[in-house]
Structure 1
Amino acid sequence: MGLFDLFKKTDKVGKDSAIDSANLLGNAEESDKGEKVKTKLSYHPEWNVPQEQKYIFNFLANELEPLSPNQLSLAAIDIDVNRDGSWDVKAFFRNSLPNTVELGEMPLLIIDKDGRQVASQTFDFKEIGTLPPESARPWVFHFDRKSIRVNEKPEEGWKIAFNLIALRGHQLELDDSWKKQLSQEQIELLEKAVKELPKLSNTEVNFTGFQLKLHENNNLVVSMFIRNGNDRAINIEQLPLEIVDANGKQVAKGYFKLDPALTVQPNSTKPWTFIFPAEKVNSEGADLSRWSARVINK
C-alpha cells in the first residue's frame, strides 16, 4: 500500500494542536493578533499526486480551522493500526507564519481525549521538507510499537502534538522548601551540576547522591538528585535506599515512606534529602571519600 492510499474520503480532520512558533523556532514575528490565517494546501516537492488524491487532500484541507498568526500546528486526521501493532498517524503540519519553516528532529506525542499520553516518538521533520508561508502539508507519522503505551488506538478527541517538555531540555526542579533555604548562587550551582550529569534515556529514572554528612549523633544525612527522563511526572511513595562507601561496604540502609508522595515533573531533576537514623548506620571503618546511593529491594 502506498502513501496516498492511507488518505481516504472517509477521513475527518480532528483536534488541532497549535503552538506559538517561538516555542520551536526561538523567535517571534510581529503580526496582527486579531487576524486569523487560512492555511493553503502544500505538497512535498517530490510527490506526484494523482488527481483523485488531490481531491481528497483538498477536501481534508478545507476542513482545517484558521490559525492565529505565527503558529505551528499539527492537525490530527486518523490513525491506521498495522499488523505489527505500530501506528500510521495521519496529520497536517501547518504554518501560519509569513515565511517558510524547516524543522529538525522533533519529539511528538499522541494524547487521548482525557489528556493521557498514549504514544511518544521523535521524528526528523527535515523529511517533511520546507513548509511554505501560511500552508498545510499532509504527512504520515509512523509510531513504532515500542513507542505506544496502549493496546488500542485512542477514540475520537485525540490529538498529535509537539512535546514541548522534551524540547525545553532537562531542568532542575526545586521544592518550595528548598527555594526558601537556598541562595541564588547555590541554586545556580545545582543547575550546573544537573547539566553536567549523564543524559537520561526517555524512560529512565535515576538516583544520584551529591552530598553526605555524618553527624556526631551518627545520623547520616544524604542529599540526592532524583532524575526523571520520562515525558510525564512520576510519584514516589516509598523508597528503600542503601549507602555504600568507596570499598563497597554498606554504610546505611533504610526504608523511606513519603507522605505525601514526592512528585518529580517530566524531564526534570529534583534534589531531596534523606536522614538515616543512627540505628540504621554502620559508619565504623567506612571510607566516605567516595560513596553511592542505591535503590534496593525491601
Structure 2
Amino acid sequence: MSNSPQKYKTEINFSNDWDISTQDKYIFQFFHQQLEDLEANQLHVHGVKLYKVESSIVVTAILRHSLPKKLLLEQVVLLVKNKDGKELAKKQFDMALFGELEPCTARPWKFLFEEADLLVPLDEIENEMDFEMAFEYYEKVISDFELYLDENWSNGLTVDQQGYVKNLVSSLEPIKVNEISIVGFHFEESEQAVNIFIIIRNAFSQALTIENLPIQLFDATGDIVCKLGFPIGEFQIASKQARPISLSFSKEVFQKENPDFSSWKIEMVPQTL
C-alpha cells in the first residue's frame, strides 16, 4: 500500500478582466499541461515568460492552488529568480483584479516589476530568459499607531517631551497583526530601584485591557537582571493605539548583582501574559 501523498490536477481558468487572445489561451493551456500536479492545500506560481519594457520587466505567470475551497488573494509578494536562484526582482502586488479562484484552479496573470522593484541592474536581465518565480510569504503588519496620553502623562510632560514621544511612536518598527509590543524609551536609576518608561502598542483589531504585565529586564551583557509581573489595574489600550506607562523595578528583586546598565532592554514574558 502506497503512502505517497494524493496529487491534485488543477483546471485552468481565464479572468474576464483580461482580454486574452485565443492563441495566447492555447499557449497557457500548453504550459499548464506540463506542470506537475499539486499536493493538497498548496499555492504555486509558475513563470511562463519574461520581457523587458523600457526600465521595467513584465512577467506572465500561472497561479494555481489545490485548496478544497475558493481562493481569494488580497496581497502577494512575488520573487523573480534566475535559474541559479539569484533574486532579480521583488514586489508586493494588489490582487483585487485577479478575482476569486474556484477549488483546484489555475489562472494566468501578468505582473509588472518597475525599476524600483529590480534587485539587480537591468542589463543582467534578458528578454525571454529562463527564470523562476516564488511567493515570499509575509505576515500583515501595522505601523500606524496613534499615541494616547492620559491626563497624568499630558500634565507630566512638557510640549517638547510630548513631541519626542510622538515622534518615537511614529519611528518604531511595524509589528504583526494580533500582537502586543513594548519598547522602553527612558531609564532612571536610583539607589533603591530602576524606573523605566515604556510604550505599549496594540495591534489587535479590538481594544485590550491589561491587568498584569510580565516584564524581564536585561543589562548590557544580555543577562536577565530581573523578571517581574506588574499588576497595572485595568490598563485599557484601544486598537492601533500606543500608550506610555512607567514601571519601577526594585533592586531587592534583582537576580544579578552589579548589572551593567550602560545599555539595557526589556521584553514581555509572553507565556504568562
TM-score by length of 2: 0.49
Q: TM-score, with normalisation over the residues of structure 1?
A: 0.45
Structure index of larger Rg = 2
More strand by percentage: 2
